[in-house]
Amino acid sequence: MATIFSRIAAGEIPSYKVAEDDRFFAFLDINPVAPGHVLVIPKHEESYIFNLDDEEYAAFTLFAKRVAAALEKAMPCKRIGVCVIGLEVPHAHIHLVPLNSEADMDFRKPKLTLPDEQMKEIASRIAAEFK
Give CA separation, 23 vs 3, 26, 41, 56, 117, in Å: 16, 11, 9, 9, 28
Residues in 17-46 that interact with ligand AMP by CB under 6 A: 29-31, 39
Q: How far is the CB of 117 from ligand AMP (least distance, A)?
A: 17
Q: For residue 86, state whether it binds ligand AMP (rule: CB under 6 A).
A: yes
Residue closer to ligand AMP, measured from CB, 55 or 88: 88
Residues 6+ apart with CB under 8 A from 68: 80, 82, 96
Q: What is the residue-wise DSSP string for 3-68?
A: -HHHHHHTTSS---EEEE-SSEEEEE-SS-SSTT-EEEEESS--S-GGGS-HHHHHHHHHHHHHHH
Q: For residue 127, state whether it binds ligand AMP (rule: CB under 6 A).
A: no
Containing 70, the helix (H) or strand (E) segment is: helix 54-74
Residue closer to ligand AMP, measured from CB, 30 or 59: 30
Q: For residue 6, state whether it binds ligand AMP (rule: CB under 6 A).
A: no
Residues in 51-80 that interact with ligand AMP by CB under 6 A: none
Q: For residue 85, state whether it binds ligand AMP (rule: CB under 6 A).
A: yes
Q: Is 91 a catalytic residue?
A: no
Q: For residue 89, state whether it binds ligand AMP (rule: CB under 6 A).
A: yes
Catalytically active residues are: 93
The site for ligand AMP (CB under 6 A) is made up of 4, 15, 29-31, 39, 85-89
